[in-house]
């Protein structure tokens, strides 16, 4: 039984949140480790005899969701369902909700969401394809549907209520974790929450991050951002006081705005030779007053890749350390680099250190990747086995150069 929150957020307009706390999913999208968990937020709005449900939750929580919904209203009385995005973390409980509703509600979604819902579920309901920026009057309220393609899928839209400056954002504005309270005003550690938001952006929307500023520009031109008062996302905290703060954070992550002197080090080492090279680099950074963030993949440690990726957008420079493995890079390095290209491909200066036995692969592999990798490798230093005195001198020199470039 999941923890379910049913709370009234506003009297005018009358809006409730239905939040399912998912602490069972260990790997979001079957890949990203989330020990912090995730929430699925749906919203219910009542306006003069009309009842609108915005999104649902993951299918495995259908029963919990229906119970929560039924504690508020008889599901048969829902007159409208808005589906912002077909991904099953928001639409999974839709079939059960519509069944309980006896298919009475009109369902509003984009044409692609409609197609996907039909492909995913045997939905028989009254599905209406909306047009971008379409306005509908329901009860006393005007709702405006605005397409926000690629945040997170091409089908995605948000709902905006101009009169009250409210956005139902679905994935827009989402973050991982199960916050102790509903909204940002009660969050005790907002920096920690922002890190979960960064992790969510990078792992979920990272591949499409250029669409974040594009869609924000669209919202700005429509006058939505200037009028924004409340952001109700599909994951994590509700933003009822300073929603722009969250959107500014989204923009920062999308653009890769750096934190001064944040050096990220990621390396693998099977028998400790790359580790020796990395320790020289760490020593040189420390001599320059810099304490790096370090992720080591060794026979004793395997940090979550989602954490490594989270630390990329705001880093000011990166140092990689890779061993050579069967004429290529270590399997961890291959996976890491492919996920960086896919999810966290930012223009950052970087240094690459490598150790091999008989024929190094580092330079060749980086060369092969150079077309797609935006990270700018200023130097690749490769040694056979352990670093010698001359290698140490080169590593220290390169680290000094990297510090200069990171400013």
Ligand X SMILES: Cc1cc2nc3c(=O)[nH]c(=O)nc-3n(C[C@H](O)[C@H](O)[C@H](O)COP(=O)(O)O)c2cc1C
Positions in the binding site for ligand X (CB under 6 A): 269-275, 323-327, 355-360, 385
Among 351, 348, 346, 322, CA closest to 336: 322
Contact of residue 89 among Fe ion, ligand X, none (CB under 5-8 Å per partner type)? Fe ion
In this structure, what DSSP letter does residue 15 have?
Answer: E
Of 175 and 387, which CB lies nearer to ligand X in the complex structure?
387
Give me the least distance between CB of 399 and ligand X, in Å please: 18
171 binds, among Fe ion, ligand X, none (CB under 5 to 8 A by kind): Fe ion
Q: Write the DSSP assignment of 353-380 as a string of letters.
A: EEEESSS--HHHHHHHHTTT--SEEEEE
> 14-52 burial string, b = 16+ CB within 10 Å, else e?
ebbbbbbbbeeeeebeeebebebbbbbbbbbbbbeebbb
Residue 327 partner contact from Fe ion, ligand X, none using kind-dependent CB cut-offs of 5 to 8 Å: ligand X
Nearest CA-CA partner of 134 in 108, 115, 156, 114: 108
**Least distance in angstroms from the C-beta of 291 to ligand X:** 23
* Residue 359 contact partner, candidates ligand X, Fe ion, none, CB within 5 to 8 A by sort of partner: ligand X
Q: Taking CB within 5 to 8 Å according to partner kind, which of ligand X, Fe ion, none is near residue 302?
A: none
Query: Which of ligand X, Fe ion, none has residue 303 at its interface (CB below 5 to 8 Å by kind)?
Result: none
Task: List helix spans (H) across 211-355.
Answer: 211-221, 243-255, 273-287, 305-310, 331-343
Cα–Cα dist 345/310, whole Å: 12
Q: How far is the CB of 383 from ligand X (least distance, A)?
A: 8
Closest CB to ligand X among 292 and 360?
360
Based on the number of CB atoms within 10 Å of its own CB, is 154 exposed (0-12), middle (13-18) or buried (19 or more)?
middle
Shortest Cβ distance from residue 298 to ligand X (Å)?
Answer: 8
Between 315 and 324, name the residue whose CB sits nearer to ligand X. 324
Closest Cα to residue 317, out of 280, 353, 350? 350
Binding site for Fe ion (CB under 5 A): 87, 89, 152, 171
Q: How far is the CB of 327 from ligand X (least distance, A)?
A: 4
Indicate the residue among 9 and 308 with the shorter CB distance to ligand X.
308
Distance of alpha carbon 102 from alpha carbon 180, whole angstroms: 35
DSSP state of 349: E
With respect to ligand X, which residue has the nearer C-beta, 42 or 274?
A: 274
Output 316 or 355, the one with its CB closest to ligand X. Answer: 355
Q: In the bound complex, what is the minimum distance in angstroms from residue 176's beta carbon to Fe ion?
A: 10
Look at residue 87 and give the partner it binds from ligand X, Fe ion, none, a contact being a CB closer than 5 to 8 Å depending on partner kind: Fe ion
Contacts of 126 (CB under 8 A, 6+ apart): 103, 105, 106, 107
Q: Which is nearer to ligand X, 171 or 275 (CB)?
A: 275
């Amino acid at each position: 039984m999941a923890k379910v929150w049913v709370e009234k957020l506003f009297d005018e307009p009358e809006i409730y949140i239905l939040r399912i706390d998912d602490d069972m999913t260990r790997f979001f999208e079957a890949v990203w480790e989330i020990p912090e968990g995730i929430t699925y937020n749906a919203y219910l709005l009542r306006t003069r005899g009309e009842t609108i449900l915005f999104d649902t939750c993951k299918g495995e929580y259908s029963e919990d969701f229906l119970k929560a919904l039924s504690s508020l209203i008889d599901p048969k009385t829902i007159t409208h369902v808005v589906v912002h995005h077909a991904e099953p973390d928001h639409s999974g409980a839709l079939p059960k909700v519509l069944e309980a509703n006896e298919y009475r509600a009109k369902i509003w979604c984009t044409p692609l969401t409609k197609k996907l819902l039909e492909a995913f579920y045997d939905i028989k309901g009254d599905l209406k394809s909306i047009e971008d920026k379409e306005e509908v009057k329901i009860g006393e309220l005007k709702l405006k549907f605005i397409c926000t393609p690629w945040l997170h899928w091409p089908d995605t839209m948000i709902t905006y209520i101009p009169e009250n400056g409210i956005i139902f954002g679905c994935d827009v504005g989402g973050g991982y974790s199960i916050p102790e309270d509903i909204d940002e005003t009660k969050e005790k550690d907002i920096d920690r929450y922002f890190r979960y938001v960064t992790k969510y952006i990078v792992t979920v929307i990272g591949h499409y991050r250029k669409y974040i500023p594009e869609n924000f520009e669209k919202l700005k031109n429509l006058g939505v951002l200037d009028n924004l008062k409340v952001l109700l996302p599909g994951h994590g905290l509700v933003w009822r006081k300073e929603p722009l703060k969250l959107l500014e954070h989204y923009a920062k992550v999308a653009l890769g705005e750096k934190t001064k002197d944040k050096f990220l080090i990621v390396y693998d080492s099977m028998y400790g030779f790359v580790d020796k090279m990395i320790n020289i680099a760490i020593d040189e950074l420390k001599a320059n007053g810099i304490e790096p963030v370090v992720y080591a993949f060794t026979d004793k440690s395997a940090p979550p890749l989602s954490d490594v990726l989270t630390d990329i957008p705001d880093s000011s420079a990166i140092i990689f350390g890779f061993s050579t493995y069967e004429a290529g890079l270590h399997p961890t390095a291959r996976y890491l680099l492919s996920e960086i290209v896919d999810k966290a491909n930012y223009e950052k200066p970087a240094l690459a250190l490598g150790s091999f036995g008989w024929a190094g692969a580092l330079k060749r592999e980086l060369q092969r990747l150079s077309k797609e990798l935006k990270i700018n490798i200023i130097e690749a230093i490769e040694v056979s086995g352990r670093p010698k005195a001359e290698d140490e001198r080169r590593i220290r020199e390169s680290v000094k150069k990297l510090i200069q470039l990171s400013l």
